[in-house]
Chains A and B, each alone.
Chain A
Amino acid sequence: DAMVIQNPRYQVTQFGKPVTLSCSQTLNHNVMYWYQQKSSQAPKLLFHYYDKDFNNEADTPDNFQSRRPNTSFCFLDIRSPGLGDAAMYLCATSRDRGTGYEQYFGPGTRLTVT
């Protein structure tokens, strides 16, 4: 089945220690998104790639970076995780950016910062 895969599902990192979360997709979608979802809150868009074009949200901290080496893979790098960065990180894809293009979400990576 075509899908969005996130690894690892659970990640524990130390305060200030860089961490990388990965996302892959078999849907061949042009757009890939990274969301941060804290407990009992709505997903918050961090950034997205439209093909190779990176689009950062204005309120995304510089501590968060992303790479998309090819169509299938996208990475979220947190350069110096703080306790406030503990959250579920969701990757999503869509075929295009127009209104009505469904976003397909992966299962998420739950990040714990100790």
Chain B
Amino acid sequence: QQQVKQSPQSLIVQKGGISIINCAYENTAFDYFPWYQQFPGKGPALLIAIRPDVSEKKEGRFTISFNKSAKQFSLHIMDSQPGDSATYFCAASLSTGFQKLVFGTGTRLLVSP
């Protein structure tokens, strides 16, 4: 119940294309869903986050879509650029007690020039 399942494991997208990464969770108590971006040799950095009271959040080329009934959320990267090549982790946390982040297994994105 504490798991967050992420797919695909790896993704190759051409420059200018749309990258889509999906995550699913079981625990309906999760109420905070961030996405982290990690470049090789660096720590993860928060990219964008959403709470379940909205179905979509957009920041620049990055959009989170959230489907509460299906317990799924996804990251869309529009107009993907080679500089977006990184590993992306979705995560979820609870609202009660200590808000430990439960990470997905990561998606390695490669945007080809």
Task: List chain A positions with a Cβ less than 8 A from chain B.
Answer: 4, 40-43, 45, 48, 50, 55, 90-92, 97-108
Sorted from nearest, which 6 A-B pairs have the closest CB atoms?
A105-B43, A42-B103, A99-B32, A99-B99, A99-B95, A102-B46
Task: Report the separation of the CA atoms of residues A92 and B46 in the bound assembly, to the nearest whole angstrom.
Answer: 12
Chain A residues lying within 8 Å of B34, measured Cβ to Cβ, are 102
Can you sample 7 A-B contacts with CB below 8 Å? A42-B106, A55-B98, A99-B93, A100-B49, A102-B46, A103-B46, A104-B46
Considering the complex, give the chain B residue whose CB is closest to the CB of A9.
Answer: B41
Residues 35-69 of B contacting A (Cβ, < 8 Å): 41-46, 49, 51
Q: Is the CB of A40 within 8 A of B106?
A: yes
Q: Is the CB of A100 within 8 A of B32?
A: yes
Task: Give the dominant DSSP class at A's interface.
Answer: loop
Q: Is the CB of B101 within 8 A of A103?
A: yes
Question: Chain A CB within 10 Å — which of B32, B42, B44, B104 has the most?
Answer: B44
Residues 59-105 of B contacting A (Cβ, < 8 Å): 89, 93-95, 98-101, 103-105
- Count of A-B contacts judged by CB separation below 8 Å: 52
Considering the complex, give the chain A residue whose CB is closest to the CB of B4.
Answer: A42
Task: Give the dominant DSSP class at B's interface.
Answer: loop
Q: Is the CB of B44 within 8 A of A90?
A: yes
Chain A residues lying within 8 Å of B45, measured Cβ to Cβ, are 104-105
Chain B residues lying within 8 Å of A105, measured Cβ to Cβ, are 43-45
Nearest Cβ distance between residue B103 and chain A, in whole angstroms? 4
Q: Is the CB of A92 within 8 A of B43?
A: yes
Nearest Cβ distance between residue A28 and chain B, in whole angstroms? 18
Task: Report the separation of the CA atoms of residues A48 and B97 in the bound assembly, to the nearest whole angstrom.
Answer: 14
Task: Report the separation of the CA atoms of residues A101 and B99 in the bound assembly, to the nearest whole angstrom.
Answer: 9
Chain B residues lying within 8 Å of A40, measured Cβ to Cβ, are 106, 108
Task: Report the separation of the CA atoms of residues A55 and B46 in the bound assembly, to the nearest whole angstrom.
Answer: 23
Task: Knowing A90-B43, A105-B45, say if A99 contacts B94 (CB, 8 Å).
Answer: yes
Task: Knowing A99-B93, A100-B32, say if A45 contacts B100 (CB, 8 Å).
Answer: yes
